[in-house]
Amino acid sequence: MRLPTTRAANLAPPDPNEQVWLIEGLWGARAVGIIGGQPKCYKTFLALDLAVAVASGTPCLRRFPTPRAGRVLLFAAEDALHIVRARLEGIAHAAAAEFQSLDIHVITAPVLRLDHQEHQQALQATVAELKPTLLVLDPLVRLHAIDENVAAEVAPLLAYLRRLQRLHQTAVALVHHARKGAAHERGGQALRGSSELHAWGDSNLYLRRQGQQLLLSIEHRAAQGADRVLLALKANPPALALEAIDQPSSDTAPIQPSCLSRVELLLADATTPLSQKQVREAVRMRTSDVSQALATLVADGRVFKSTAGYQLKR
């Protein structure tokens, strides 16, 4: 039987009244996507900032406008509930939003497994009842027992979240880790696990450190993104929140990459193991600094040391 077709000109045009952005320039309306980055890059702070912005209608990161407020549903798998509250309250204070009035609902179940049918059904029932504008799940690694490197196992989990988004018209933000030793790679390519994760997202946000700087890259499937948005974690008790800040002026000396970053980048480009002397001569830094950087990278499991020298784990 022949598949139905129609001429492109006969397709329905976009609705001019339809909301394009959930957060302007940062997250599309009803978009699914990844908030990714290396450990200790404040991925959770960024995810919670999205939640506060959507729930309050205030600019995310004090820069990206939120057209209108909506309900948020959040599951934080790694943090105790009192820590979740404290972080949300601090971000709300930074955003000049009334914390008590925020329409953020936190799932208090101790475990949520998206690879278990009964847990999928429970989450879908919760979304159907609360009708959130945004669903935040943090982080992916605590939400399943599958092998993230196997596309055939990852794809059904992502397909479930896509169905949830389409059925209930909710945006989905999924926090996920980058691979160790992937600091030199582009954000999406640095994500841990199957490439299905990168391909799945409509809006993706990637955090990375460069020296002392924290940088945000923004990627969209159907809109222009942005690269190297400079962020800082600002503390002004009780406020503790990320904030987008202006880039240094051109007459300001740029911050140099740390010794650890330079050593890691060197090893990432090397095709054979390098001795400590070879590393030191290449990065042109003090022996003590290079020795400490190598020891840190080995302790973190990002670099392997053998009799032949040091080599980045791939």
Examine the domain organization and report whether 54 and 195 are in the same domain. Answer: yes
**Residue numbers of the domain that contains 204:** 18-244
Residue 194 CA, chain-centre distance (Å), reads 16
**Domain containing residue 263: CATH number:** 1.10.10.10
* Geometric angle at alpha carbon 130, from 140 and 110, rounded to 5°: 40
Average pLDDT over residues 228-245: 93
Does the structure show a pLDDT above 70 at 312? Answer: yes
Supply the CATH number for residue 192's domain.
3.40.50.300
Tally of structural domains, the chain: 2
- Looking at the fold, whether 35 and 71 belong to one and the same domain comes out as yes
Which pLDDT value is given to residue 256? 46
pLDDT of residue 161: 98
263-293 residues labelled b (16+ CB within 10 A) or e (exposed): bbebbbebeebbeeeebbebbebeeebbeeb
Q: Identify the domain boundary among 244, 271, 292.
A: 244
In a domain, 9, yes or no: no
- Per-residue pLDDT at 15 exceeds 60: yes
Q: Is the pLDDT of residue 187 over 80?
A: no
Residue 59 located in a structural domain: yes
Q: Would you say 104 and 50 are in contact if contact means Cβ atoms under 8 Å apart?
A: no
Cis omega before residue 273 (within 30°)? Answer: no
Residue type, 274: L
On whether residue 85 sits in a domain, the answer given is: yes
Calculate the average pLDDT of the chain. 90
Q: Across residues 293-298, what is the average pLDDT? A: 82
The pLDDT tens digits for 273-283 are 999 988 888 88
Q: Answer left, alpha or beta for residue 15, where phi above 0 means left and psi between -120 and 50 means alpha.
A: beta
Residue 53 lies in a domain: yes
Q: What's the pTM value of the predicted model, to 2 decimals?
A: 0.77
